[in-house]
């Protein structure tokens, strides 16, 4: 297991109470350009009128930036932290974004099978306790042909997701795409985008 993952999992307090409020301010102000960049990227991937889920949405800034670029999308977010969910709901409402955000765990998502065309997640994977047990859930709530697009720091457990998907014969719709990108975070500049695809009709980007 990667050191960064060992250090950051099992730490729910990092995103509760005052920590959630500090994270919110940093995300909305200091780190806003990161979410603009990710939203541009996701906007290019999302099919027309896609249903998009952001797992570990935190304060929901990616959803807000995405809504500004793609008002045709139906947006939802989940997060393990009730405080983060409250912050995200406030932020979406203040920005006039009609998405929904609720409490949810990547390992047990509160949605029926096939609910989404695209799942995104930013800088959350390295906090998940058991990334491998999230894989069947992420595949379950995607429709046939749907895609999972995860952005995180370079040392997040991306390969663990791929290994578990291989073991269970999930996400076999297309070869895994993994590309390096700049995180724009000053101390941790290297990030990765990994896309995994459920078998089914190819999603046509807008
Ligand atoms: C570093 S924050 C990233 C928030 C947001 N995606 C962003 O880019 O600003 C990580 C978030 O993942 C959430 N999280 C951690 N483990 C999770 C899990 N198993 N399921 C859903 N959310 C989780 C945390 O509560 C936290 O809000």
Cβ 153 under 6 angstroms from ligand 1: no
Q: Are the CB atoms for 161 and 194 separated by under 8 Å?
A: yes
**Ligand 1 site-directed mutation target among 27, 126, 127, most atoms within 8 Å of CB:** 127
Cα(39)–Cα(60) distance, integer angstroms: 12
Atom 27 in ligand 1: residue holding the nearest Cα: 58
Cβ 109 under 6 angstroms from ligand 1: no
Atom 10 in ligand 1: residue holding the nearest Cα: 124
Give which of 167, 178, 102, 165 is closest to 137, Cα–Cα.
165
Q: Which atom of ligand 1 is nearest to the CA of 107?
A: 19
pLDDT at 13: 65
Cα dihedral value 5, 46, 63, 6, nearest 10: 0
pLDDT at 40: 96
pLDDT at 31: 81
* Terminal Cα distance for the chain, rounded: 37
Distance 124 CA to ligand 1 centre (A): 4
pLDDT at 184: 76
Cβ 105 under 6 angstroms from ligand 1: yes
Cβ 91 under 6 angstroms from ligand 1: no
pLDDT at 77: 98
Instruction: List CB contacts of 155: < 8 A, sequence separation 6 or more.
Output: 2, 3, 4, 5, 126
pLDDT at 30: 81
pLDDT at 12: 59
- Reading the block at residue 20, the tokens are 């959630």
Global pTM?
0.93
Cα dihedral value 71, 39, 105, 85, nearest 10: -70
Query: Judging by beta carbons within 10 Å of its beta carbon (0-12, 13-18, 19+), is residue 107 exposed, middle or buried?
Result: middle
From first to last of its 206 residues, what are the pLDDT tens digits of the chain? 565 556 556 565 678 888 888 887 788 878 888 999 999 999 999 999 999 999 999 999 999 999 999 999 999 999 999 999 999 999 999 999 999 999 999 999 999 999 999 999 999 999 999 999 999 999 999 999 999 999 999 999 999 999 999 999 999 999 999 999 987 777 777 899 999 999 998 766 66
Q: For residue 88, give the 3-state DSSP assignment.
A: helix
């Amino acid at each position: 297991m990667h050191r960064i993952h060992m250090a950051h999992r099992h730490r729910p307090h990092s995103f509760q109470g005052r920590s959630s409020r500090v994270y919110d301010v940093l995300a909305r102000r200091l780190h806003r350009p990161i979410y603009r960049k990710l939203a541009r990227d996701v906007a290019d991937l999302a099919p027309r009128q896609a249903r998009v889920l952001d797992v570990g949405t935190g304060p929901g800034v990616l959803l807000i930036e995405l809504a500004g670029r793609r008002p045709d999308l139906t947006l939802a977010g989940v997060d393990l932290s009730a405080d983060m969910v409250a912050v995200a709901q406030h932020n979406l409402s203040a920005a006039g974004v009609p998405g929904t955000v609720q409490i949810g765990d990547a390992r047990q998502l509160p949605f029926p099978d096939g609910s989404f065309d695209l799942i995104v997640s930013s800088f959350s994977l390295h906090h998940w306790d058991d990334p491998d047990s999230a894989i069947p859930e992420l595949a379950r709530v995607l429709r046939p042909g749907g895609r999972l697009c995860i952005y995180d720091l370079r040392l997040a457990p991306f390969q663990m997701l791929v290994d578990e998907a291989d073991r269970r014969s999930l996400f076999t719709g297309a070869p895994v795409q993994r590309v390096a990108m700049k995180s724009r975070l000053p101390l941790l500049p290297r990030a990765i985008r990994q896309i995994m695809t459920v078998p089914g009709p190819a999603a046509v980007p807008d």
